[in-house]
Amino acid sequence: MTALEQHRHHPRTFHDNRFVYPVLSRRSQGLSVGINLNPDKVCNFDCIYCQVDRTSQAETRFVELDAVLEELDDLLAMVTDHSLWDDPSFAGIPVSFRRLNDIAFSGDGEPTTYRNFDEIVERVGAVKTRRGCEDAKLVLITNASMFHRPAVERGLETLHAHNGEIWAKLEAGTEEYYRRIERTVVPFGRVLENITAVARRWPVVIQSLFMRVEGEAPPESEIEAFCDRLCEITASGGQLQLVQVYTVARPPAESFVTALDDRELQEIASRVQARCGLATAVFGG
């Protein structure tokens, strides 16, 4: 499988694993080891572009902590002894991508909804250290809806003790557009407050997926409002390390969702740079 095919192919399974899986991440520019804390496919967002098939019932319904840690330990062993690159799924990967960039809490739902989030971050961090993977990041890919929970706050502290990084979703500027894209009962204001509060403590990567909805790109007014929200976060003391501007790369939940082209993505990124003075990275479909 080529690097491009790997970027577009993100299965949540690997061999007999049920929770831990390796992917070649276009945004990480290397290997990302994912930990699926939502094998039941339950999420508090129902994004119109999500790639998770929620029409079929999940075979695994609950996170089994011991199994997660064993799968992670075994996979990191394959990474450190380089045997992963002999696996047929990864044998064609260029040498420049054959590096472990991160271990990411991600998967089929919002990882911070996991009840014992603080415990699992601590245990995963210990495995990472024991396997000599201290340089790899511990990444949380999140919709930022649960940062206010005490267990999540404790988990974020531990995350950053293990070379942590938060990738928080923000892809709207107005409540109306946010609800259209994310389809959730979580108020837009809660997400903005959570991102701002966390960004005051640690640098945050903003992940922003833009798309066509029923053939229409995001209106100019929405992009302006999006930039307004970013500027408000930084004006309040929030540290935004990077804004990732990207689009759909794999089949989305809804057929009326299609990708923007590279020129459109670059225009959004340029607007963010000009309006907010923030670094951006563009990832086309």
The predicted-structure confidence for 67-95, as pLDDT tens digits, reads as follows 999 999 999 999 999 999 999 888 888 88
Q: In terms of pLDDT, which residue wins out, 246 or 11?
A: 246
The predicted-structure confidence for 10-50, as pLDDT tens digits, reads as follows 455 577 899 999 998 777 778 999 999 999 999 999 999 99
CA 29 to chain centre: 14
Q: Which tokens sit at 51?
A: 């790639």
Alpha helices in 41-187 (DSSP H): 65-80, 117-130, 150-161, 175-182
3-state secondary structure of 30: strand
Average pLDDT, the chain: 92
Sheet (strand 164-169) strand order:
20-25, 30-36, 100-106, 137-142, 164-169, 204-209, 240-246, 280-283
Q: What are the structural domain ranges in the chain?
A: 1-167, 191-285
Place 3 in a pLDDT band, splitting at 50, 70 and 90.
very low
